[in-house]
Structure 1
Amino acid sequence: MKALRNYHARLRRALDHVDRHLDDDLDLAAVSEVAAFSKYHFHRQFTAVFGVSVHRYVQLARLKRASYQLAFRDGQSVTGIAFDAGYDAPDAFARAFRQRFGQSPSSFRTAPDWGPWLHALGALDDARSTLMTKNYSAADVTIREVSPTSVAILEHRGDPAMVGATIQRFIAWRRKAGLVPPASATFNIFHGDPRTAAPADYRMDLCAGTDQSFEQHGERVEAGLIPGGRCAVLPVVGGTDDLEPAALFLYRDWLPASGEELRDFPLYCQRLSFFPDVSEHQAVAELFLPLR
């Protein structure tokens, strides 16, 4: 068992290195050296455990970052994004992007098709979840007295797979309204569980902190309030596009053992740093569970 744990730790080290060094040389020899495995066998070891090759894992991680830059950061050129993703020419990047996601980079920037995108990145998510699942403990949770926060709310209603489209609209609206981070805090309020809610009924609120009046700029943005009070707060560092494991820990493990009772307001989070502005492992969110 100790040998197996050590083996898995070396493979986790390889994944962590890739995720933290997407701009570096990440060929087979470089990644195998981090894990202290022979490059002559590492490609088979990696594929056997994670279900994808080292090359494909690196490519998917870089293309995920590129897709976020295309969809949510329109100030970056397609050519610049191609170079950031490790391609020497935009046409090579375009071919790889279309092969994985079924759209050209420019088409994805204009109108992302989120279904094929999610499907294509499933191999990346599966590989990471094999050995990189986060483990939380009660020591990670603090109880904090939170001040009330006035927010502007854009509601997402419908299939969780389409949240990305709502995020695009939210980012565009924030720019027009002058409510961009970090001057305006970013919150998400989770009114449903994406794993159990019917897709048509799923609801999540995208919120920008402001106590000023604002223009709607063609969107149905409403003024709201995140109420103050006691909250259990769990920081999440890295992989903040999926907060469900952290939420599950709070509801399944922390809450029953805490003796606390819940207040009548949904689970919500504040996003403190954002992928792709920072590397995926550096993205930070705090999950708030309102308490009586």
Structure 2
Amino acid sequence: MSDTQAEKYARRFAKVLDHIESNLGETLSTELLSQVAHFSRFHFHRQFAEYVGTSVGRYIQLLRLRQASYRLAFSRQDKIIDIALNAGFENPESFTRAFRNTFGQSPSAFRRQPNWEAWHERYRFRIPERKHTVQVEIVDFKTTRIAVMEHRGPTERVNDSVGKFIAWRMTSGLSPKDSSRSFGIVYDNPDTCEPADFRFDICGEVYDEVPANPQGVITKYIPGGRCARVRHNGSHTRIGESIYPLYRNWLPESGEELRDFPLYFHYLNLMPETPEYELVTDIYLPLKS
């Protein structure tokens, strides 16, 4: 298969994957999905499994369970029966059975103490990087004071730190999610960094210094200055598809030089209130003046 043919094939599968992500609440039959990308319905199951690494039915179920997982962990006011029905299950019993079989925990046990490392093991698909051209803007970012939960360690444990930061946000009232901007500061590339050495800051905008607190949230600043900004639409799990073209293509051709501050994200909306396919994240790459 030539590169051109491979790219066409990848684009057809990207249409299928995008359709699944944006229609998780709908009936997603094999016949419908094969039509989305103009594949033969007789061979679609095998093609999908070879491309993604799991069957189409299992992939859809895993995405629905992922959405439910975030609601269990981060929207504790939501009832499990509502989460089950929203995830496409007929009743809480079938939801509990599927959840336990997939993650080794019942939904209620996961809500109490999520095992995120085991959870991440279920989402190691072999989907190739979806290549696309990024639109880069040069912007001036103003110095911003932030409250920070410093995550240090494997990426699989980031959600544990997110949970602690959410708890601080709710109890302190100093950085309400609905009126303060949310950020993430990326010190290391998770694809090349040793898991134990990975560093990531979970941040919320604040207007005063953060007092001592049980969660260990501290005050930092995102410095002002010129940045290259790229908007990423969709799941945070695919944000690398917008980061790599920025470094690999745009930066060498731009003549710009990088400032001594890490890449960071501005989350314009967040799960679980927002479905994954509707997430919008601005990526900032600090540049020298």
Fold in common (TM above 0.5):
yes
Q: Deviations over 1:61-92 (max 9, x none)?
A: 11111111112221211111111111111111
Residue 160 of structure 2 aligns with which residue? 165
TM-score, normalising length: structure 2 = 0.90
* 1:95 aligned to which of 80, 86, 97: 97
Instruction: Give the 5 Å matches for 1:194-213.
Output: 194-213=190-209
* 1:143 aligned to which of 127, 138, 143: 138
* 2:271 aligned to which of 263, 275, 283: 275
Q: CA–CA distance in 2 between the matches of 1:164 and 1:79?
A: 23
Structure 1 residue 194 displacement after superposition: 1.7
For residue 246 of structure 2, what is the amino acid of its counterpart? Answer: L
Q: Deviations over 1:207-255 (max 9, x none)?
A: 1101124444411111111111111111111122343343332223222
CA 1:42/1:252 → structure 2, altered by over 3 Å: closer, same or farther? closer
Q: CA–CA distance in 2 between the matches of 1:76 and 1:85?
A: 13
Residue 58 of structure 1 aligns with which residue? 60
For residue 186 of structure 1, what is the amino acid of its counterpart? Answer: S
Instruction: Give the 5 Å matches for 1:1-292.
Output: 8-123=10-125, 126=126, 129-130=127-128, 133-137=130-134, 140-178=135-173, 179-292=175-288
Structure 1 residue 33 displacement after superposition: 3.7
For residue 138 of structure 2, what is the amino acid of its counterpart? Answer: I
Q: Which runs of 5+ in 1 are unaligned?
A: none
CA 1:6/1:141 → structure 2, altered by over 3 Å: closer, same or farther? closer
Q: CA–CA distance in 2 between the matches of 1:262 and 1:213?
A: 29
Report if aligned partners of 2:14, 2:130 keep a CA contact under 8 Å in 1. Answer: no
Q: CA–CA distance in 2 between the matches of 1:9 and 1:158?
A: 35
Task: Report sequence identity in percent.
Answer: 40
For residue 210 of structure 1, what is the amino acid of its counterpart? Answer: V
Report if aligned partners of 2:145, 2:205 keep a CA contact under 8 Å in 1. Answer: yes
Q: Which runs of 5+ in 2 are unaligned?
A: none
Q: CA–CA distance in 2 between the matches of 1:29 and 1:73?
A: 35
Q: Deviations over 1:86-134 (max 9, x none)?
A: 11111111111111111111111111112221111113xx2xx33x614
TM-score, normalising length: structure 1 = 0.89
Q: Alpha carbon RMSD of aligned pairs, Å?
A: 2.1
Q: Deviations over 1:46-69 (max 9, x none)?
A: 224333222111111111111111
Report if aligned partners of 2:148, 2:204 keep a CA contact under 8 Å in 1. Answer: yes
Report if aligned partners of 1:177, 1:214 keep a CA contact under 8 Å in 2. Answer: no
Report if aligned partners of 1:46, 1:54 keep a CA contact under 8 Å in 2. Answer: yes
Q: CA–CA distance in 2 between the matches of 1:109 and 1:61?
A: 18
Number of residues paired by the alignment? 285
